[in-house]
Structure 1
Amino acid sequence: MKNIYITDLDHTFLRTDLSISDFSKAAWNAMALDSIATIATARTYKKTVEFLKNVDINAPMILLDGALIATVDKKIIGTKLIAKDAADAIIDEGAKFGIYPFVLSLRDKNLNEAFLYSSTLNEHQKSVLFRYKGDDNLSECKDIRAMQENFKIVYFGDEILLRELAKHLESIFGDMFKYILAPEAYVGCYFLTLIHKDADKSHGIKSVSEHMGFDLSKLTVFGDNYNDVGMFEIAGTSVAVANAQEGVKKLAKIVLEHTNDQDAVAHYLERLKNVR
């Protein structure tokens, strides 16, 4: 039975400048020759494929926090979507707090995606959007409404506001959704993500496991933030990079001495190779 390696992207496998070093690519690709290798990320299909140029991925990818499971060649293995009426209800409740979300939606079955955002933005949201400038899936909305099929709804803002909003939304919608509240390292704020109740990275891994028939005890996962905790709970080996959130490090079996900017995942894989 092959070993399985699944890594988060942002602040784990990706460097802070969103690059992947030649060293990391070489170490990953060498591992993938005789192992199952894929990623689990909050990113969309399009951005993920852009980042992973010349990186070998030989299993379905877990995308959008588990809302989408798809192969590199666009075969959809599974989706966990939020319907339009439910998404619009979330938007309306957030508006009571003076904040409007980003809505990531599915345009068609060819994995064309939409990134919807309101013309009313806070400074944190403006900073996030600046990082996406030039993307062709951005769509500004004066009166933001969801599409028919939505992957996730994401708020960026101050921690206090988002904690209040999360509490409010959970009091209304209960366990209809999964709520992820965590620090956002790129722009220095917090984010609140709402996804389908069965759409997280751990559910995504289980879907990939069922699709490929691998043993979770032989799975190693790498992560840094609270949306990676579900992976840590089901994997045989959970690995946190040195720059991971402190609460995440406490839940990992292994904490690396290197950060994402120091090619932490690659160094770990190289050590494994030298042990064999």
Structure 2
Amino acid sequence: MKNIYITDLDHTFLRNDLSISDYTKTIWNAKANDSILSVATARTYKKTAQFLDGVHINAPMILLDGALIATMDKKIIDTKFINRDISDMIIDEGWKFGIYPFVLALSDSKNLSEAFLYDRVLNKYQKEVLTRYTSDDNLKECQNIRAMDENFKIVYMGEEEQLRELAQHLELIFGDNLKYIFAPEAYIGCYFLTILHKDADKSHGIKSVSEHVGFDLEKLTVFGDNFNDVGMFELAGTSVAMFNAQEGVKELADRVLEHTNDEDGVAKYLEALKNGK
């Protein structure tokens, strides 16, 4: 049976400038004939496909923190949505703390078109994020933002204290009917709070991909750096943390690499396997 390799993108497979080196592409692509290869990321399908240009992926991808499982050719395998009413309630509660979220939703299932909604009222961190998406055609500015029918996730970005209080407030209201990811945002230097369907995470995504492809989890190796990767670590036969991973994540990994994402850590690990190290 084939080995399976599934990697996180940001701060793991991608370098900090959001590129993938030719060396990493060469080493990764060499595995395509005898291995199952995919990614698990908080990113949308659109961004993931852009980043993975020239990279072989031969299994469904775990996208949007597990809210979407889809193939590179846009076949949707599984979705986990927050409905419009609950999403709008979350937005209303967030505004009590003086902040609106980004809302990432499915606008067209036939063509796997995603919508990225944002309000006219933005903090400095949200404005910085949007500068990275200026060329995207799925952005939609809103006045008094409202959700869509099928929402993948709701994302707040801001100061740690503000978002921690908001997370606690939302958990009191919605409890375990939703999933909450609260963590540092390494690119911009703030915190993010992501709210998802209760079953939307990378571990559920791994199970969906496994059922679709048919592989043995013991032969699965996963790579990650942050706390939203821990669910994958718990399922995989081998879990690998980057040298630049969060300390708590390193403690849960089977192996911690000697190299960072900027030093092609994933590729160097795969090359060492090839050389029997």
> In the alignment, what sits opposite 1:139?
140
Q: How many residues align?
A: 276
| Aligned-partner Cα distance in 2 for 1:208–1:78 | 9
| Aligned-partner Cα distance in 2 for 1:182–1:231 | 17
- The question of 1:129 aligning with 2:124 is answered no
1:28-50 alpha-carbon deviations (Å, 9 max, x no partner): 00112200000000000011001
> In the alignment, what sits opposite 1:225?
226
1:180-203 alpha-carbon deviations (Å, 9 max, x no partner): 001100000110000100010000
| Aligned-partner Cα distance in 1 for 2:27–2:194 | 32
Q: Residue 129 of structure 1: CA displacement?
A: 1.0
| Aligned-partner Cα distance in 2 for 1:160–1:257 | 33
SS at match of 2:184: strand
SS at match of 2:118: strand
The residue type paired with residue 68 of structure 2 is L
| Aligned-partner Cα distance in 2 for 1:153–1:263 | 31
What's the Cα RMSD here? 0.7
1:239-268 alpha-carbon deviations (Å, 9 max, x no partner): 011111111111111000100000000000
Which blocks of at least 5 consecutive residues in structure 2 are unaligned?
A: none
TM-score with structure 2 length normalisation? 0.99
Q: Residue 131 of structure 1: CA displacement?
A: 1.3
TM-score with structure 1 length normalisation? 0.99
- The question of 1:108 aligning with 2:135 is answered no
1:103-129 alpha-carbon deviations (Å, 9 max, x no partner): 000001111110000111111111111
| Aligned-partner Cα distance in 1 for 2:121–2:244 | 33
- The question of 1:35 aligning with 2:35 is answered yes
The residue type paired with residue 24 of structure 2 is S
| Aligned-partner Cα distance in 2 for 1:129–1:242 | 29
| Aligned-partner Cα distance in 2 for 1:190–1:216 | 32
The residue type paired with residue 264 of structure 1 is G
1:206-242 alpha-carbon deviations (Å, 9 max, x no partner): 0000111101011000001111111011111000111
| Aligned-partner Cα distance in 2 for 1:50–1:128 | 17
- The question of 1:80 aligning with 2:80 is answered yes
SS at match of 2:240: strand
Q: Residue 64 of structure 1: CA displacement?
A: 0.3
| Aligned-partner Cα distance in 2 for 1:181–1:267 | 30
SS at match of 1:214: coil
| Aligned-partner Cα distance in 2 for 1:115–1:125 | 12
> In the alignment, what sits opposite 2:166?
165
1:112-163 alpha-carbon deviations (Å, 9 max, x no partner): 1100001111111111111111211111111100001000000001111111
SS at match of 1:74: coil
Alignment of 1:205-244 (within 5 A): 205-244=206-245
Which blocks of at least 5 consecutive residues in structure 1 are unaligned?
A: none
- The question of 1:59 aligning with 2:83 is answered no
| Aligned-partner Cα distance in 2 for 1:30–1:272 | 12
- Structure 1: 4+ residue segments shifted above 2 A: none
| Aligned-partner Cα distance in 1 for 2:135–2:58 | 29
The residue type paired with residue 99 of structure 2 is I
| Aligned-partner Cα distance in 2 for 1:226–1:5 | 19
The residue type paired with residue 29 of structure 1 is N
> In the alignment, what sits opposite 1:95?
95
